[in-house]
Amino acid sequence: MANILPEDIDSQIVDRFSALLEDPLYNSGTRRDGSQYSFSEEEKVIMLREVKKYATSVKEILILNEVKALSGEEFDFPNHGQSAHPEQVAWADNDVTYGMAALNLKRFERYVLSKNADEKISAQMKLKSGEEKSVDLPVYRYSQNIREASTALLAGPHKAVDWAFIEKQKASDLVDQEIGLIGDPDTIDLTTLDRSALQWLLNNKKIKGSLE
């Protein structure tokens, strides 16, 4: 349960498929009528492009299912003959579930706060005082969908009033630090932010709100 999905699971899928494309055992062969075939370089490029899309989608689905499982949320796999439980079950009050809170905080730190080191959002803004300001904001590695689901790990149903109390406070402090990268939102004329910067701020404020 403590294992986290490999961060490069999507790259692993693409690399494995790329290796298969270069293997004559898979990229060429004999048809039923006895004629020979082999994939052209153009066909290989097309297949690899589509597999990259597939790998990205698979990674997001795997992460979301991992997060849902850890949150105690019931989720539905109708195509596999399983359906959601009719009642959502709250975490029991015992040492095992308290360990889950610490584990969920690690997931939060990874899936909510991880950044793409080579990407930035350059934000220009005006403060309510009239002063102009520019900042570089980080681009998060995981989608907002995953970030919100991971935040919910610390806000799931539980029977102990203090479950994840400390962990939620730590997570909230970390989000405050993120929001602080743009400055104090109350001092900013939000109408002067471009769409990317405004979405960045509102997405982080949404995560902050989920922890309160």
Say whether both 65 and 118 belong to one domain: no
Say whether both 72 and 101 belong to one domain: no
Domain residue limits at 38: 9-80
Instruction: Say how many C-beta atoms besides its own lie within 10 A of residue 33's C-beta.
Output: 5
3 lies in some domain: no
Please provide the average confidence, as pLDDT, over all residues in the chain: 87
How many domains is the chain built from? Answer: 2
Say whether both 60 and 119 belong to one domain: no
The reply to whether the predicted model has a pTM over 0.85 is no
Domain end, chosen from 52, 80, 108, is at 80
Residue 82 pLDDT more than 60? Answer: no
pLDDT band at 78 (very low <50, low <70, confident <90, very high): very low
Say whether both 41 and 105 belong to one domain: no
Say whether both 112 and 186 belong to one domain: yes
pLDDT in tens, 176-196: 999 999 999 999 999 999 999
Say whether both 199 and 118 belong to one domain: yes
Of 81-95, 126-140, 141-155, the poorest mean pLDDT is in: 81-95
Residues of the chain above pLDDT 90, percent: 64
Say whether both 102 and 67 belong to one domain: no
Say whether both 119 and 62 belong to one domain: no
Rounded alpha-carbon distances, angstroms, from residue 161 to 88, 93, 140? 17, 9, 32
At residue 103, the pLDDT reads: 87
Q: 98: closest CA among 154, 142, 148?
A: 154
Say whether both 105 and 179 belong to one domain: yes
Say whether both 53 and 14 belong to one domain: yes
4 lies in some domain: no
Of 32-46, 61-75, 160-174, 181-195, the poorest mean pLDDT is in: 61-75
At residue 3, the pLDDT reads: 61
pLDDT in tens, 85-104: 555 556 666 777 778 888 88
2 lies in some domain: no
pLDDT band at 143 (very low <50, low <70, confident <90, very high): very high
Mean per-residue pLDDT, 165-169: 93
